[in-house]
Amino acid sequence: MVEKACKKIGELGDKYVYLCPAVEEIDETLKDLDRLAEIEKWKKERRKIRKQELEKLLGIDIVE
């Protein structure tokens, strides 16, 4: 059953190693979540920089 649903990717001694579609989907989902986290981190950093630039330009402190 596993042989039909999954892709054989190697061997460990006398055992075969399989990669199943669900594992691939989970891996892709985790990669997507990591990318989203990086984007959010970048957005927050960019907002902080823009706020600092605006404060410098206007000569005031902006309180959130």
Contacts with 51 (C-beta within 8 Å, 6 or more apart), sequence order: 62, 64
pLDDT tens per residue, range 36-56: 999 999 999 999 999 999 999
CB 44 within 8 A of CB 55: no
pLDDT tens per residue, range 15-28: 888 777 777 778 88
In a domain, 26, yes or no: yes
In a domain, 64, yes or no: no
Tell me the residue range of the domain where 48 lies. Answer: 2-58
Q: For position 61, what pLDDT does the model report?
A: 87
Number of domains in the chain: 1
Whole-angstrom distance between the N-terminal and C-terminal Cα of the chain?
Answer: 58
Q: For position 1, what pLDDT does the model report?
A: 47
Task: Check whether 4 has a pLDDT greater than 70.
Answer: no
> What is the DSSP secondary structure assignment for residue 7, as one 8-state letter?
E
More confident residue, 6 or 36: 36
In a domain, 31, yes or no: yes
